[in-house]
Amino acid sequence: MSSSSKASASTSTKPLQVEEEEPVLRVYNSLTRSKDVFKTRKPKHIDWYNCGPTVYDSSHMGHARNYLTQDIIRRILRDYFGYNVNFVMNITDIDDKIILRAREGYLLDQTKSTNSTLTSDMIKDTKLAFSKFLNSKLIKSLPSTIPEISSIENDLEIFDIILNKDKSDSTFAEAAKSKEEKWTLYLASLLKASTAIKKAESLMNGSGSTQNDVNDLVDGTSDVLGPYYGETLGHTIEDPISISRKLALYWESQFFQDMEKLNILPPNIKPRVSEYVKEIVEFVDKIIKNGFAYEAEGSVWFDVEKFDGAQGDGFRHDYAKLQPSSKGNKKLIDEGEGALTGSKGKRQAADFALWKAKSKPGEPAWPSPWGDGRPGWHIECSVMASAILGKGMDIHSGGVDLMFPHHDNELAQSEAYHGCQQWVNYFLHTGHLHIEGLKMSKSLKNFITIEEELSRNTARRLRLAFMLQTWNQKLDYSRGLIADTKAKEETFDNFFANVNARLAQAAPTADGLHQNGSAEEAITNDLFNAQRDFHAALCDSFNTPAAIQTLLDLIAKTNIYFSAKGRDANLAVVTNIAEWITRMLRMFGLGEGAPAKNGIGWGIAVVGGEAAQNGQDVTSQIEPWARTISSFRDTVRKLAMDKSISSEELSRRILTLSDKFRDEDAVNLGLQLDDGQGSDGGALWKLVDSKTLIEQREEKKRIASEKLAKKQANAKAAEEKKLAQLEKGKIPPLEMFKPPYITPDNLYTDWDSQGLPLKDSEGKDVSKSTIKRLVKEQKVQEKLHDAYLQWKKEQEGK
């Protein structure tokens, strides 16, 4: 070929035509209410701010729903899509809930420490607290009047009447719950307090009391006495900042312990509100100067009316971008402000506090140009996010319940401060958590702490359960979901155990033939198709239910390949599949412990978040194995040495022992033996969690027991039917239509030689149709009678 021809051929070469476009990552964005193409402000770098906890109580399953979900998405972005993620999560340690809880706890503890015995003043205080709580909570929530309480002055007696009414009148109880969702909680708090007060009164009238009795009274009445002391003695607290910080630090520590148990990655940066008060004051001051906030009686309020629609530099400000339908929703606005926030000087109902003036002595306060006070709730995140991430961010996230007013107010005050049109590019909101179809609530008695749930299920199971439902939709945490999750866990466990067992016992082949036939080509293509579908699922706004199902479908196809090929399966092909599935599960945070040396398996998950048994000493791990194997050997030796047993009986007994070892002893050790499945024709052994094997064994026993019971019931029914037929067969066919075998209503007076009736009881001829029917009945009886005679003959011959 000439040089010119070569050049022509070279320049005409083109890339092969692309058959399908690669999917791009799209993320559901609450700001646009659509799945938007994900683009970051800096290449392969994500600035992400996540609303953290308000630390004043135990972490619950609602927290798990939010923070587990954010962790899953964070891992996908970091470990699958390859982004560098700067994850910032705040700790709200200045909040009305914290102030109230800290103040009440401090005053109750002070009451215990300053009283070694019960006093009349203590009884008086608890009764006053009881009365205030009863009238402000329960009486106010009555669905209808109760006439008999109008003439009673003793509030303990009034409560007893209401309690009995609630127990005896279901219509009243349901109406009360409908009117006030906390009705059940109010009853419980007052019943606990009433019991404690009556017990204390009896001790006062008796032989005396001790410190334990003081503690019992304070603890028993804490729900009513805490708020009462908070209002009446709150001003006596000398260092309210210190006691609030102490409470917040305790619950912050508990929160991160729970997050660690859930295998949630810690944030890169963890700012606390209390550490940013100076920056908050400066931030608020600038919003005032920008014309979007005003000071009134020591508080600073954001002016919603002035902000909404205000002209910026080529744009217009909008308020409530996330949830415009909630504009002016007084209930949500009030909840966002907090229990201790007043409304003095507030111009419009929609305005919200940026800085709260100190309203009462005993409340924590910091200095500001407008007087001592504390930050509003919404301003905290705006300031910390701006201080750390600058004028904007790629992702802001939190629970859907924060959408309005918290996140909408964050957007407004941040855009008012920075003078920008858009402070956040993507807002990710995790869906609500329901328990068995109902909103989680203490009043519904379905409130579950993370610690409580981890005593029943592993952290991995919770994570996988959450991944089986879409992250931004409502999640119904139910028994059905857990059962489905367990089944999927077992599928992964069995798959890894099967692959590892085959790899461990594989023998090298020396037949000189390759193992890459059509079956291997098909299962390899299944892997590539699964990888394509898995990628498409994660690009579709982190569709983890579809991604997990893709992995399970690939396992199902691999199991079919195993079944078809048996010991001839190409383990190199299967290893590729198992390694990829392992990497994807661990990418989601579903792995436990360090990866295995061969890179296959997701580890053993343990209830309670504790470490698996790898950390135990060698002796404690080997002991149960040594005891079981030694016992098996001893029994076989005794049988072999017993000369009275025939060789045939010896074989039978050894096989029985072997089956018992496989089904009982090995299962208890976590050793699964599949007879005939090994590469040498022997058993294929797998190390599996013993609890899983025991559950499977018990389930098989249950099914077998049910089958046996059904079989026995069918046999009994068949025997009863046979006996009934034999009893019926005693009657000779020639006599069946004659007395005494016929009923008085069907008497006949004349019969032919075959025993068939000719005349009825009135001497009239029997109709042809009746005779035709009776002939059929007689033929049936002939068969029954023959069977009876045969049975009788057999019985006589025994």
- Whether the pLDDT of residue 521 is over 70: the answer is yes
**With bands split at pLDDT 50, 70 and 90, how would you rate the model's confidence at 694?**
confident
User: Which residues on adjacent β-strands are paired with residue 54?
Assistant: 92
The answer to whether the Cα torsion of 554, 560, 563, 568 is positive or negative is negative
**Pick the residue with more confidence: 337 or 248?**
248
123-151 mean pLDDT: 94
Among 29-38, 355-364, 651-660, 741-750, the range scoring the smallest mean pLDDT is: 741-750
449-467 mean pLDDT: 96
Alpha-helix residue ranges (DSSP H) falling in 432-542: 450-454, 459-467, 479-504, 518-539
For residues 405-418, one letter each, b for 16 or more C-beta atoms within 10 angstroms of the residue's C-beta and e for the rest, the string is bbbbbbbbbbbbbb
**How many residues in total does the chain contain?**
798
- Whether the pLDDT of residue 632 is over 90: the answer is no
Cα end-to-end span (Å), the chain? 104
Of the ranges 17-26, 173-182, 329-338, 588-597, the best mean pLDDT one: 173-182
**Pick the residue with more confidence: 677 or 224?**
224
Render pLDDT for 370-382 as a digit per residue (tens, 0 to 9).
999 999 999 999 9
Closest CA to 538 of 85, 78, 3: 78
pLDDT at 766: 85
Say whether 525 sits in a helix, a strand or coil: helix
| In contact, 139 and 124? CB cutoff 8 Å | no
Domain ranges of the chain: 35-95+261-455, 473-602, 618-688, 730-797
Render pLDDT for 537-595 as a digit per residue (tens, 0 to 9).
999 999 999 999 999 999 999 999 999 988 888 999 999 999 999 999 999 999 988 87
Among 196-205, 340-349, 381-390, the range scoring the smallest mean pLDDT is: 340-349
- Whether the pLDDT of residue 507 is over 70: the answer is no
**With bands split at pLDDT 50, 70 and 90, how would you rate the model's confidence at 611?**
very low
Angle between helices 183-204 and 170-179 (to 10 degrees): 110
| Average pLDDT in the chain | 90
For 719, other C-beta atoms within 10 Å of its C-beta total 10
The DSSP output letter for 75 is H
**With bands split at pLDDT 50, 70 and 90, how would you rate the model's confidence at 345?**
confident
| In contact, 487 and 631? CB cutoff 8 Å | no
Q: Is the peptide bond before 364 cis (omega within 30 degrees of 0)?
A: no
- Whether the pLDDT of residue 358 is over 90: the answer is no
**With bands split at pLDDT 50, 70 and 90, how would you rate the model's confidence at 614?**
very low
Among 18-22, 456-460, 717-721, 778-782, the range scoring the smallest mean pLDDT is: 18-22
The DSSP output letter for 265 is P
Q: How far is CA 692 from the centre of its chain?
A: 20
- Whether the pLDDT of residue 19 is over 80: the answer is no
Q: Which residues contact 578 (CB under 8 A, 6 or more apart)?
A: 495, 496, 499, 600
Q: Could you say which of 1.10.730, 1.10.1760, 1.10.490, 1.10.155 is the CATH number of the domain covering 473-602? A: 1.10.730
- Whether the pLDDT of residue 346 is over 50: the answer is yes
pLDDT at 444: 67
743-752 mean pLDDT: 78
Among 324-328, 529-533, 663-667, 708-712, the range scoring the smallest mean pLDDT is: 663-667
Render pLDDT for 424-437 as a digit per residue (tens, 0 to 9).
999 999 999 999 88
pLDDT at 136: 95
CA 691, CA 454: separation in Å to the nearest integer? 17
Q: Which amino acid is at 69?
A: T
396-419 mean pLDDT: 96
| In contact, 322 and 270? CB cutoff 8 Å | no
Q: How far is CA 596 from the centre of its chain?
A: 28
pLDDT at 654: 86
CA 468, CA 482: separation in Å to the nearest integer? 10
Q: How many CA atoms lie within 13 A of 469 on its CB side?
A: 23
pLDDT at 66: 96
**Pick the residue with more confidence: 607 or 557?**
557
**With bands split at pLDDT 50, 70 and 90, how would you rate the model's confidence at 494?**
very high
- Whether the pLDDT of residue 686 is over 80: the answer is no
pLDDT at 692: 80
Model confidence, pTM: 0.79
**Pick the residue with more confidence: 632 or 506?**
632
- Whether the pLDDT of residue 268 is over 90: the answer is yes
Specify the CATH superfamily of domain 35-95+261-455: HUPs (3.40.50.620)
**With bands split at pLDDT 50, 70 and 90, how would you rate the model's confidence at 613?**
very low
- Whether the pLDDT of residue 307 is over 50: the answer is yes
Q: Is the peptide bond before 367 cis (omega within 30 degrees of 0)?
A: no
**With bands split at pLDDT 50, 70 and 90, how would you rate the model's confidence at 504?**
confident
Token pair belonging to 455:
């005593």
Q: What are phi and psi of 433, to 5 degrees?
A: -105, 125
Closest CA to 89 of 414, 315, 385, 413: 385
What is the radius of gyration, based on Cα positions, of the chain?
39
- Whether the pLDDT of residue 612 is over 50: the answer is no
CA 239, CA 106: separation in Å to the nearest integer? 11
pLDDT at 11: 56
